[in-house]
Amino acid sequence: MRHYAAYGSNLDPARMRAYCPYSPMIGTGWLEGWRLTFAGEDVLGWEGSVTTIVESPGDRVFVALYDVHPNDEKQLDEVEGALAGTYQKLHLRVATLDGDATAWVYVFNGYEGGLPTAWYLAEIANAAAKAGAPADYLDALRARPTKTAMP
């Protein structure tokens, strides 16, 4: 099995089905000792920063676990920018109700900083809700500052 831990907009099961039709969601869990943050605004030239994670003792990030088919992995690597060098793959331990699992994540290949657009942050929060993130996690996510005002 090849597990992938989605933490941003890929928390949305419908989005993942579109990218990886042969890779079922197998559960949810937490990346303990990691923090969700944003990066890349000045590097990528986008309207705002994109999600990434950084090590941060005492923090944790909600994730959805997927059992990824090899063909889907190639597609996901391309979509997530791993092939272009925008993101790198790290293998991390995910804490689940069934015990720890090892999964890969995509981490931005650069420095933390910048703010997401309000639209992008709403997409991430909605995706987390669809994956079953707890209410306190969703509240904290939705309360984060953004570069633009909510529409």
* Cβ atoms of 29 and 102 closer than 8 Å: no
Which residues participate in the annotated binding site? Answer: 4-9, 120
Which residues participate in the annotated binding site for substrate? Answer: 4-9, 120
State the catalytic residues. Answer: 80
* CA–CA separation, 3 and 37 (whole Å): 22
* CA–CA separation, 30 and 34 (whole Å): 9
User: What distances in angstroms separate CA 143 from CA 68, 120, 136, 139, 146, one per listed residue?
Assistant: 32, 13, 11, 6, 9
Q: Which residues contact 15 (CB under 8 A, 6 or more apart)?
A: 9, 127
Closest CA to 51 of 105, 131, 132, 129: 105
* CA–CA separation, 106 and 57 (whole Å): 19
